[in-house]
Amino acid sequence: MAQVLLSNVRKSYGDVEVIKGVDWQINDGEFVVIVGPSGCGKSTLLRMIAGLETISGGEISIKGTVVNKLEPSERDIAMVFQNYALYPHMSVYQNMAYGLKIKKIPKEEIEERVQKAAEILEIEDYLERSPRQLSGGQRQRVAMGRAIVRQPAVFLFDEPLSNLDAKLRVQMRLEIKKLQENLGITSVYVTHDQVEAMTLGHRLAVLNEGVVEQLGTPIEIYEKPQTVFVAGFIGSPSMNLINGKLDDEGNSIVLPEGGTVKLSKGKKQYKGQEITLGIRPEHVTLAKGKENGIEVKISVVEQLGADTLVHCTLGKGETKISDTGFVVRLSGIKTFEEGSFMSLNFADKHLHMFDAKTGKRIE
């Protein structure tokens, strides 16, 4: 069982606490993704699991053994770095075989493992080349091959695709997912790209300033974010977040500049409360005919071919709905005049409400 268990794991640099008590059980064979903005502590947490950073408090165990004081080489892990970290003076074969050679694995077994990994990654034709003769995607395959031949209990990925171009990232993302499913090795993957997180992970840990805001499957987190931060971070474009207030009866939400959103089921227990209203761009619809919609002013229109993104401000004035603006996602190619007005409807089955003070979800 290659289970990884984090119990109240903390990391401080002097008086600054960067990881603030993480509790997380990563199951055997699971692919988990740590996602969050730059500087939130993702790589620090991964490096603590790897043994490249000492922990300030708590326990980390791998396969039932507490590894707090074990060296990285003793933890039965293999890590794939952002910058590939290949030896430039060695061939591809030598790069992949080096770790096994240090462990004094028999030459015949090294040959077998390297050939098998090269076959899986489709790099058999590059084994005699040096890293400088390879493309970025090929170098990343070599880095993954070096990890595979180790036959570790746990794979650790530290933003391995961030140096690749957009098309190659998509291709490599699919290959990593397929590889992990075939090998069944417990994997922890760090990224700031929430599209990568949504498509790769069995479960996600959304990290914010050293705190895990939410743990769950990608769909759970997308459909039911537990905090304003998670709601605004997961999704592309991100969820629209509007400051509002429930009326005195709890039957509707009053928005800036006088707009209202009626609720089919009242929230009497929250009447009069300041809230943050969330709705995803694809769940906003255009008001038709005599429907009373929320009036917005169109500021920018982005034609993406399959979709059209319309960026808006609320009402007839220049009031910004939120710090991230307000986006409507419409299917197909739509034409709008920038500076004109349109009316929108928010179906309340797609609404998300959060306490304005705590940022936590209101069910």
Q: Which of 36, 12, 9 is nearest to 25 (CA)?
A: 9
Fold: same for 4-226 and 237-362:
no
Digit-coded pLDDT (tens) for 312-328: 887 655 555 544 468 99
Q: State phi, psi for 353 to the nearest 5 degrees.
A: -125, 140
CATH 2.40.50.140, applies to 237-362: yes
Supply the mean pLDDT for the chain: 89
189 confidence band (pLDDT: 50, 70, 90): very high
Ordered by start, the domain boundaries in the chain are: 4-226, 237-362
1 confidence band (pLDDT: 50, 70, 90): low
Q: Which CATH number describes the domain made up of 4-226?
A: 3.40.50.300
Digit-coded pLDDT (tens) for 252-298: 888 876 678 888 777 777 788 889 999 999 999 888 866 677 888 88
Digit-coded pLDDT (tens) for 93-109: 999 999 999 989 999 99
Determine contact, residues 200/214, Cβ cutoff 8 Å. no
Which H or E run contains 115?
helix 107-121
Mean pLDDT of the 325-341 span: 89
Which residues are CB-neighbours of 324 under 8 A, at least 6 positions away? 232, 238, 240, 241
Residue 56 token pair: 């300030």
